[in-house]
Amino acid sequence: MPRGLNNWKFIDVKRFLSDYNFSLNHVEGSHYFYRGTINKIIHQVCIPFHGKKSIHPKTMKSIILQSGIDQSEWLNN
């Protein structure tokens, strides 16, 4: 269960982005690229997939910035 920026797994990020209508654009190796529109701006987010391992908090900050979704929305999830 995600707490703040800790313990987010690939599946958690994927579900969160799908709630904001992001969809899979393409895959390059172990990196999945999702594309969606926030505030009429198209955003592409790169999510690393490493099984059930948690995503590093610094990587989560990058994902949040790429998504264009306010950080408070991510932390309140």
- Among 60, 70, 1, 21, CA closest to 46: 60
**Range(s) of the domain holding residue 40:** 10-68
Residue 74 lies in a domain: no
Structure tokens at 1: 């269960």
Residue 3 lies in a domain: no
What do you get for the CA distance between the two ends of the chain, in Å? 10
Look up the pTM and report it. Answer: 0.91
Give the count of domains, the chain: 1
Query: Per residue in 7-62, pLDDT tens?
Result: 999 999 999 999 999 999 999 999 999 999 999 999 999 999 999 999 999 999 99
Residue 34 lies in a domain: yes
- Among 21, 23, 13, 14, CA closest to 38: 21
